[in-house]
Amino acid sequence: MNIATPVTIYRKDYVAPGFWVDTVEMGFDLHPQRTHVATRITMRRNHDSAEKDLVLFGEDIKLLQLRMNGVNLKKSAYSLNKERLVISNAPDQVTLEIETAIAADKNTTMSGLYVSNGNFFTQCEAEGFRKITYFPDRPDVMASYTVMLRGDKKLYPVLLSNGNLIEQGDLDDGRHYAKWEDPFKKPSYLFALVAGKLVCQEEKYKLKSGRQVLLQVWVEEGNLDKTQHAMDSLKNSIRWDEERFGLELDLDRFMIVATSDFNMGAMENKGLNIFNTKYVLANSRVATDTDYAGIESVVGHEYFHNWTGNRVTCRDWFQLSLKEGLTVFRDQEFSGDLVGNETGRAVKRIEDVRVLRQLQFPEDAGPMAHPVRPDSFVEINNFYTVTVYEKGSEVVRMYYTLLGHEGFRKGMDLYFQRHDGHAVTCDDFRTAMADANGRDLKQFERWYSQAGTPHVKAHASYDANAKTYTLNLSQSCPKTAGQAKKLPFHIPVAVGLIDAEGNDIPLQLQGESAIATTKILELKEAQQSFVFINIDREVTPSILRNFSAPVILEYDYSDEQLAHLLAHDSDPFCRWEAGQRLAMRRSLNLVSAVQKGEALSLDDLFIQALRKTLNDQHLDPAFRELVLTLPSEVMIAEEMAIADPHSIHTARQFVRTTLAQHLKADLLQAYQDNLTPGKYSPDAQSAGKRALKNCALAYLVEWPDAATYALAHTQYQEAENMTDRIAALSAMLHCSSALDKAHSKTRKQVLAHFYKEFESEALVIDKWFTLQATAPTTDVEQVRALMQHKAFSMSNPNRARSLIFAFCNANPARFHAADGSGYALWSECVIALNKLNPQVAARLSRSMDRWTKYPKANQALMKAALQKVAATKKLSKDVLEVVTKALAA
Ligand code: TRP
Ligand code: ZN
């Protein structure tokens, strides 16, 4: 087999750039087939660098002209290959004039300059600027940009770039121009331009300082009825960053532009954020509560990057989590603060932890495991991962937990004081946090350098005579690729102790005077004991409150203790977690019973515990919904040595149908109690009610009679918002009874109706594909049939994700079909996508990460599919890196 060897880049090899750039002037003549770009760059030698050559990167562009200090450079004066242009012996002061040509209409990668629906967009992070011109395209080179855009006025009435619009006017031949100047120095990955037929919702907004700024949300014609929520989210973001961190918007104009062709969620280009339509467009007819929440957090995320990422940026791409982990932490806090109450905050926290466990824990345990600050990569685009983002955010949250609200703010202030306008490292951030608080955070560095999810084992003993309660904590971390031995982490473990009445008891540690009901224990050694004094009764420990560290906690709770915590814990996270532990224990036992062909049953303790939660009117509906949601099939699989998707599915569905059977009256009551009549509002309270109501509905159809199924059907027909409509449709398609053909005609009808009703709404049609891709009735053949549907397209990332990714990642029982047909589909799609869009193809490649976890027969088929992809000609380094690492597992 002929598998190419990828070139690896190492963090230890970092060398400062040989030349700094002061100014960049660019002129674009926009034509889809051939955009002409003229760039003038002033540069000066960095005498501190070991790099003596002048190194420019360039990819997939045509070099038309190259002048240095006014003189045309002859071919012999520089070297040029597919990736770089190198000028040796350049003088210390250099002005380069470069002309390049780009075929944006042929660019299907959505990186660099590309055309979508007739409009021009750019995506430069991480290394897309080099597809526009030759440039030292690395984040530590920060420069001032002036950009002149010229294009046909009819085709491209709107011409946007970073910063301020300083001039515009008409040209000959129906063309016009706009000149933009960005007042702040920035790395090239933050460059952006947008040109085309777009319309905007705009608003003047007054900052706390009194300065007025112009806010715009740009969309395609016909979508102006879906921009209000994004605009509201932007204003909330601006206010929140002023209030919580004292950070003001530094520009006079801030723009958001939506495009339906986008590789990820959104991009924080200075003053000109570009978004996937999924994270901009919303109204109650087409968007769900989840969509509304997603928009709020992504708009916040990109806006917050203006300080954490743009004003202070990354020295090199290994430091990516410096901006991403911190900005995710900031957007999580933003969403939590906006809800405005403690339970709402806790619900948000639990949702975030769920994402971490569902996606990041498997990554940390698989062949792509890497530290929050990776040591090497082949393709940087493969490292925009849940580890860098979500685990990175947990690492930032641990500073917050260790240093407290004020201490964290002091650290942030010092970080900006020291590093504003600079490109820095994760160590600089850690040092600012330490210095601002007079703390030693040396050991904390291991959170950046060691991959894998740490395990914390807890042991407790109570001495009634001495009135001491001793908690023994030990830690370990499984080995990961290239890291066999791990050193102990600095882990904040938040602990409470709960008495038999369910009350928190005041805690005092031996040798300390402070008393509190939650104590942050700092575990720094492999093993440590913590002694609480004056404990005069039996207690149940509530450990890892608010999920104070991204670890797996092992403690041998009894079912009764878990039920007690679920009923009483004052910490909402641990309260929820107790329910999850009860459910996981049962799920695992049931999987093994399914495998052995034994009779299945569910115990009363569990059923009653859930009943009690479901009916507890003191608890927020949103919280009750989280408790009622069982650990996913993916999470169950992660707990097993050999994961068997079919048995897992059967076991989990058994729990659902059994609960539905026993809790029928309670579920019906919850359904009725949580209706939200009147005008739709996406606020957390209403969304929580809908979530619980729709969770109840999904259970009810698991053990259906004619009435409950009709309830779903009626809700579908009468729904006045997308949340309720899609929930009803999902309940009908995803319940166990869908498998025995009952109501199959009704299901076909509603699916057809839904398609017709929303045919012109691309984001809704994505939902239509996903619903089917994830239905238990949908097999590989049906996915192939859907791929033939006129609305399906492999080249639109959202659409490809809605069907292919959804099937491969979220329908495990069908994807892992015994005949390997799911894997064959996967390899065909990866190979097809590889030609169009390597970034998206590499993401799909990740569906095979855990192949060594499946039964032997599956493993063989999965390995063969991986090998087939690895041996494909012209494989991108994106895909090559992922499959090579998977095969090495
Ligand atoms: N920096 C962006 C964010 O976190 C994400 C991003 C990185 C991105 N590379 C991209 C978006 C490529 C689109 C395409 O918000
Ligand atoms: Zn980001």
Token match 């994505």: residue? 766
- Does residue 574 lie in a domain region? no
**Tens digits of residue pLDDT in 255-274:** 999 999 999 999 999 999 99
Ligand 1 probe mutation, 107, 125, 263, 381, most atoms within 8 A of CB: 125
* Whether pLDDT at 624 is above 60: yes
Distance in Å, CA 266 to ligand 1 centroid: 6
Greatest pairwise CA separation for the chain in angstroms: 94
In ligand 1, which atom is closest to the CA atom of 309?
1
Q: Residue 370: its pLDDT value, please?
A: 98
Ligand 1 probe mutation, 114, 123, 327, most atoms within 8 A of CB: 123
Ligand 1 probe mutation, 129, 137, 263, most atoms within 8 A of CB: 263
Position 705: which residue type?
A: D
* Element housing 611 (H / E): helix 604-615
Question: Taking the mean position of all CA atoms in its chain, how far away is CA 547?
Answer: 19
Distance CA 263, CA 282 (A): 20
In ligand 1, which atom is closest to the CA atom of 324?
4
CA dist 310 to 321, 323, 429, 594, Å?
13, 9, 15, 53
Mean pLDDT of the chain: 97
Token match 């699989």: residue? 637
* Whether pLDDT at 515 is above 70: yes
Q: Which residue, 459, 403, 457, is CA-closest to 435?
A: 403
**Is 302 considered catalytic here?**
yes
Question: Taking the mean position of all CA atoms in its chain, how far away is CA 614?
Answer: 30
Of 175, 197, 219, the residue at which a domain comes to its end is 197
User: Which residue has its alpha carbon closest to ligand 1 atom 13?
Assistant: 264
Of 496, 525, 554, the residue at which a domain comes to its end is 554
- Does residue 424 lie in a domain region? no
- Other beta carbons less than 10 A from residue 680's beta carbon: 18
CA dist 294 to 229, 282, 288, 325, 385, Å?
11, 10, 10, 17, 18
In ligand 1, which atom is closest to the CA atom of 389?
4
DSSP letters of 754-801? Answer: HHHHHTT-HHHHHHHHHHHHTSTT--HHHHHHHHTSTT--SSSHHHHI
5 — pLDDT class (breaks 50, 70, 90) = confident
DSSP letters of 827-841? Answer: HHHHHHHHHH-HHHH
- Does residue 814 lie in a domain region? yes
Note down the domain range covering 842. Answer: 760-889
Distance in Å, CA 327 to ligand 2 centroid: 6
Q: Residue 742: its pLDDT value, please?
A: 75
Position 294: which residue type?
A: G
* Whether pLDDT at 1 is above 70: no
- Other beta carbons less than 10 A from residue 269's beta carbon: 28
Ligand 1 probe mutation, 264, 279, 301, 386, most atoms within 8 A of CB: 264
Distance in Å, CA 731 to ligand 1 centroid: 33
568 — pLDDT class (breaks 50, 70, 90) = very high
| Antiparallel, parallel or unpaired: β 423-424 and 313-314 | parallel
**Tens digits of residue pLDDT in 580-620:** 999 999 999 999 999 999 999 999 999 999 999 999 999 99
| Tokens matching residue 481 | 């690729």
| Tokens matching residue 134 | 């030759």
Q: Which residue, 154, 191, 185, is CA-closest to 170?
A: 154
Residue 38: CATH number of its domain: 2.60.40.1730
User: Which residue has its alpha carbon closest to ligand 1 atom 3?
Assistant: 267
* Whether pLDDT at 743 is above 90: no
Distance in Å, CA 264 to ligand 1 centroid: 6
Give me the catalytic one of 302, 333, 577, 633.
302
What is residue 608's three-state secondary structure? Answer: helix
Which residues, in sequence order, are CB contacts of 727 under 8 Å at separation 6+? 690, 694, 697, 698, 715
Number of folded domains that form the chain: 3
User: Which residue has its alpha carbon closest to ligand 1 atom 9?
Assistant: 125
Q: Residue 706: its pLDDT value, please?
A: 83
| Beta-carbon neighbours within 5 Å of ion ligand 2 | 324, 327
Percent of the chain's residues with pLDDT above 70: 100
Distance in Å, CA 383 to ligand 1 centroid: 11
Distance CA 648, CA 631 (A): 11
What is residue 10's three-state secondary structure? Answer: strand
In ligand 1, which atom is closest to the CA atom of 110?
14
DSSP letters of 678-703? Answer: SS----HHHHHHHHHHHHHHHHHTTS
Question: Given its phi and psi angles, is residue 131 left (phi above 0), alpha (psi -120 to 50 degrees) or beta?
Answer: alpha
Q: Residue 738: its pLDDT value, please?
A: 81
- The stretch 738-745 carries a mean pLDDT of 82
Token match 């057809």: residue? 752
Q: Residue 71: its pLDDT value, please?
A: 98
Token match 């960053």: residue? 241
Q: Which residue, 716, 729, 822, 740, is CA-closest to 767?
A: 729
| Antiparallel, parallel or unpaired: β 19-29 and 35-45 | antiparallel
User: Which residue has its alpha carbon closest to ligand 1 atom 10?
Assistant: 125
Q: Residue 881: its pLDDT value, please?
A: 98
Distance CA 498, CA 6 (A): 54
The gap between the terminal CA atoms of the chain, to the nearest Å, is 18
- Does residue 203 lie in a domain region? no
Q: Residue 600: its pLDDT value, please?
A: 98
Residue 390: DSSP 8-state:
I
What is residue 161's three-state secondary structure? Answer: strand
In ligand 1, which atom is closest to the CA atom of 301?
15
User: Which residue has its alpha carbon closest to ligand 1 atom 1?
Assistant: 267
Of 510, 537, 554, the residue at which a domain comes to its end is 554
Residues in the ligand 1 pocket, defined by CB under 6 Å: 123, 125-126, 263-268, 301-302, 324, 384
User: Which residue has its alpha carbon closest to ligand 1 atom 12?
Assistant: 125
Q: Which residue, 274, 171, 260, 196, is CA-closest to 31?
A: 196
In ligand 1, which atom is closest to the CA atom of 125?
9
- The stretch 509-517 carries a mean pLDDT of 97
Q: Residue 737: its pLDDT value, please?
A: 81
- Does residue 76 lie in a domain region? yes
- Does residue 422 lie in a domain region? no
Distance CA 548, CA 550 (A): 7
In ligand 1, which atom is closest to the CA atom of 298?
15
- Does residue 750 lie in a domain region? no
Distance CA 886, CA 889 (A): 5
Distance CA 753, CA 749 (A): 6
- Does residue 586 lie in a domain region? no
Distance in Å, CA 429 to ligand 1 centroid: 21
Ligand index nearest the alpha carbon of residue 325 = 2
The answer to whether residues 2 and 871 touch, using CB atoms and an 8 Å cutoff, is yes
Q: Residue 704: its pLDDT value, please?
A: 79
CA dist 476 to 55, 166, 469, 479, Å?
44, 58, 23, 10
Distance CA 848, CA 870 (A): 13
| Antiparallel, parallel or unpaired: β 19-29 and 142-152 | parallel
**Tens digits of residue pLDDT in 357-393:** 999 999 999 999 999 999 999 999 999 999 999 999 9
The answer to whether residues 526 and 445 touch, using CB atoms and an 8 Å cutoff, is no
Distance in Å, CA 386 to ligand 2 centroid: 11
Residue 773: CATH number of its domain: 1.25.50.10
Ligand 1 probe mutation, 303, 384, 390, 801, most atoms within 8 A of CB: 384
Position 620: which residue type?
A: D
Token match 């093994």: residue? 592
The answer to whether residues 765 and 791 touch, using CB atoms and an 8 Å cutoff, is yes
Distance in Å, CA 386 to ligand 1 centroid: 13
Radius of gyration for the chain, computed over Cα atoms and rounded to the nearest angstrom: 28
The answer to whether residues 142 and 870 touch, using CB atoms and an 8 Å cutoff, is no
Distance CA 123, CA 193 (A): 9
**Tens digits of residue pLDDT in 426-481:** 999 999 999 999 999 999 999 999 999 999 999 999 999 999 999 999 999 999 99
Residue 462: CATH number of its domain: 2.60.40.1840
Q: Residue 2: its pLDDT value, please?
A: 61
Distance in Å, CA 334 to ligand 2 centroid: 14
Distance in Å, CA 815 to ligand 1 centroid: 29
In ligand 1, which atom is closest to the CA atom of 128?
12
Backbone angles phi, psi at 25, to 5 degrees: -115, 130
Q: What is the pTM of this model?
A: 0.98
**Tens digits of residue pLDDT in 48-76:** 999 999 999 999 999 999 999 999 999 99
What is residue 67's three-state secondary structure? Answer: strand
User: Which residue has its alpha carbon closest to ligand 1 atom 6?
Assistant: 267
